């Protein structure tokens, strides 16, 4: 016994109430085989959106005309094709079966499975962090536990753990930590076998780097298989060893300024002895450094020629000063998101971070303080003796080095701020905070509990923001009301929901 509970003529779904709860019926009509592939893919994308809008506890039934045959062959589709299929499969058939198998067969019509995998990967990253701190630094268990809990509960990780696209950052972090542990194990094995015969030494190195019992190597292989699909991988020579011994020997032979055809990017780009071609500027830059070094051997004041060169660059490009100032401020902004994750958003494009247009902007002072603090941390790590100094230096390395690819310093990336790229750098932040708390004495436990409580509450709040598309866009508009892309995405959502008037308002706000 059931009755219609919620229905609108323009909706492709009907919600009905029955004696055991609610049931959502979704009626579909898929594009025919003659339609373009783009239209078919758009249909299944819209179907995904409609199913996501259904209440989580409803019984879902999708019915209609998919313009597809399931065929009688069930190989690979046993979970979603019965034993009495019909017809011959076409393009629509594979779209339908893949939709059923990959999106909904195992965990039903809910994203629970995707979230569960991401949570498990995040837990694995937390365990690897604690393992790294115990193996490399031999820190007290209290400090290790503190760092692991801070990393586990930090709100900045919500985007990486909640969103499916963030799985790449989770896998990258696991591979990152596993590589460090594997390297530590390799150098320990090399130290232990230093006095062995050459043949025995080679076998031990092979076992340390890729032996069957290495959990780090196995984990790295699994994550590489999961994340490296479609990417070109350059393998080591046979046996896992670099030709000529150490991998740094080639760099020592060629020199740090050598330019090869592969590094430039294609045939015809190699630089000859005359310095012609695209690498000519690099050759002259090398000569500049050599001349400055020769002058310094004669008189130390000659080293200031490099400072004059830098000043000349600033003079020539003084109209780009605001770009440079903004460029140096972006790492400060990202560091602030780690320190105070109060204002978080899923999209920081379209003017979310205003440009610095004047040297008098107060944000320049924040930049100076940030880089001064980094230098002080490095100095403290060098001055401190024993385990604590190593811990500070490792924490700064984990904080700074993984963030360098996102700084636009070496190559251009498609964003200026993205919370998920802070997943790996937050390892260093968690370690620094844990070391600071270890020096707090009797106030350590209250401060730690307060920090975990604040982080946990903020993380739970962000999880609610990521519950649906609508809650995500509303949270984004609340955080960044001047972001045109936020208004545009929210307008598209309202258009799909049939709220034409509200969609028009946000479209106008987006183009204003």
Of the candidates 468, 479, 429, 473, the one whose C-alpha atom is nearest the C-alpha of residue 451 is 429
In DSSP terms, 424 is beta-bridged to: none
Phi, psi (rounded to 5 degrees) for 245: 100, -115
Phi, psi (rounded to 5 degrees) for 295: -65, -35
CA 390 to chain centre: 27
* pTM of the full structure: 0.62
pLDDT tens, 336-388? 999 999 889 888 877 788 888 888 889 999 999 999 999 999 999 999 888 88
Phi, psi (rounded to 5 degrees) for 3: -145, 155
- Residues 6+ positions from 332 with CB-CB distance below 8 Å: 363, 366, 367, 370
What CA–CA distance (Å, rounded) separates 252 from 242? 14
Question: Reduced to 3 states, what is the DSSP secondary structure of residue 273?
Answer: coil
Of the candidates 339, 375, 422, 386, the one whose C-alpha atom is nearest the C-alpha of residue 157 is 422
The three-state (H, E, C) secondary structure of 116-185, written as one string: HHHHHHHHHHHHHHHHHHHHHHCCCHHHHHHHHHHHHHCHHHHHHHHCHHHHHHHHHHHHHHHHHHHHHH
Of the candidates 252, 263, 259, 267, the one whose C-alpha atom is nearest the C-alpha of residue 285 is 259
Contact 154, 432 (CB under 8 A): no
**Residue pLDDT tens, the chain, 512 long:** 344 444 343 455 677 666 666 777 788 788 877 777 778 778 877 777 777 777 766 776 777 777 777 666 666 665 566 665 666 676 677 677 766 665 555 455 566 777 888 899 999 999 999 999 999 989 999 999 999 999 999 999 999 998 877 888 898 999 999 999 988 888 877 766 654 544 444 444 444 334 434 444 445 444 444 444 333 333 333 333 434 444 334 433 444 333 333 333 333 333 333 344 445 667 877 888 888 888 888 877 778 888 888 777 767 766 667 778 888 898 999 999 999 998 898 888 777 888 888 888 899 999 999 999 999 999 999 998 888 899 999 999 999 999 988 887 777 776 778 888 999 999 999 999 999 999 888 888 999 999 999 999 999 999 999 888 888 889 999 988 888 888 998 998 888 778 889 999 999 988 87
Contact 370, 332 (CB under 8 A): yes
What CA–CA distance (Å, rounded) separates 498 from 512? 23
Q: What DSSP designation does 383 have?
A: H
pLDDT, position 154: 95
Contact 184, 135 (CB under 8 A): yes
Of the candidates 134, 132, 130, the one whose C-alpha atom is nearest the C-alpha of residue 147 is 130
């Amino acid at each position: 016994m059931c009755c219609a509970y919620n229905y609108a003529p323009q909706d492709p779904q009907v919600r009905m109430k029955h004696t055991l709860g609610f049931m959502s019926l979704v009626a579909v009509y898929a594009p025919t085989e003659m339609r373009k592939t783009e239209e078919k893919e758009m249909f299944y994308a819209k179907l995904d959106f409609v199913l996501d809008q259904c209440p989580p506890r409803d019984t879902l039934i999708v019915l209609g005309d998919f313009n597809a045959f399931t065929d009688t062959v069930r190989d690979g589709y046993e979970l979603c094709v019965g034993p009495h299929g019909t017809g011959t499969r076409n393009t629509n058939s594979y779209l339908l079966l893949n939709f059923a198998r990959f999106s909904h067969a195992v965990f039903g019509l809910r994203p629970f499975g995707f979230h569960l995998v991401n949570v498990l990967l995040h837990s694995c990253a937390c365990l690897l962090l604690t393992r790294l701190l115990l193996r490399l630094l031999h820190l007290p268990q209290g400090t290790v536990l503190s760092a692991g809990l801070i990393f586990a509960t930090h709100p900045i990780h919500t985007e990486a753990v909640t969103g499916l696209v963030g799985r790449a950052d989770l896998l990258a972090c696991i591979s990152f930590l596993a590589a460090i542990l594997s390297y530590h194990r390799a150098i320990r094995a090399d130290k232990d076998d230093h006095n062995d015969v050459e043949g025995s030494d080679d076998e031990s190195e092979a076992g340390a780097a890729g032996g069957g019992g290495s959990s780090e190597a196995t984990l790295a292989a699994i994550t590489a298989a999961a994340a490296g699909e479609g990417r070109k991988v350059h393998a080591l020579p046979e046996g896992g060893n670099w030709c000529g011994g150490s991998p740094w020997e080639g760099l020592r032979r060629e020199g740090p300024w050598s330019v090869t055809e592969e590094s430039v990017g294609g045939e015809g780009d190699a630089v000859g002895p005359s310095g012609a071609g695209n690498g000519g500027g690099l050759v002259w830059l090398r000569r500049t450094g050599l001349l400055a070094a020769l002058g310094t051997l004669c008189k130390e004041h000659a080293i200031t020629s490099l400072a004059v060169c830098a000043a000349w660059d600033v003079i020539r490009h003084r109209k780009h000063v605001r770009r440079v100032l903004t460029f140096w401020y972006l790492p400060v902004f990202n560091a602030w998101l780690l320190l105070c994750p109060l204002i978080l958003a899923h999209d920081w494009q379209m003017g979310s971070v205003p440009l610095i247009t004047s040297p008098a902007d107060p944000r320049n002072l924040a930049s100076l303080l940030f880089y001064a603090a980094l230098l002080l941390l490095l100095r403290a790590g060098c001055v401190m003796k024993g385990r604590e100094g190593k811990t500070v230096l490792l924490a700064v390395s984990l904080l700074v080095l993984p963030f360098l690819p996102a700084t636009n310093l070496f190559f251009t990336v498609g964003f200026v701020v993205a919370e998920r790229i802070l997943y790996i750098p937050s390892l260093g932040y968690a370690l620094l905070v844990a070391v600071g708390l270890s020096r707090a004495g009797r106030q350590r436990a209250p401060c730690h509990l307060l920090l975990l409580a604040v982080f946990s509450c903020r993380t739970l709040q962000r999880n609610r923001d990521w519950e649906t598309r609508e809650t995500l866009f509303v949270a984004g508009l609340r955080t960044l009301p001047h972001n045109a892309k936020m208004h545009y995405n929210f307008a598209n959502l309202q258009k799909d929901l049939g709220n034409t008037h509200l969609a028009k308002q946000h479209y106008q706000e987006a183009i204003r």
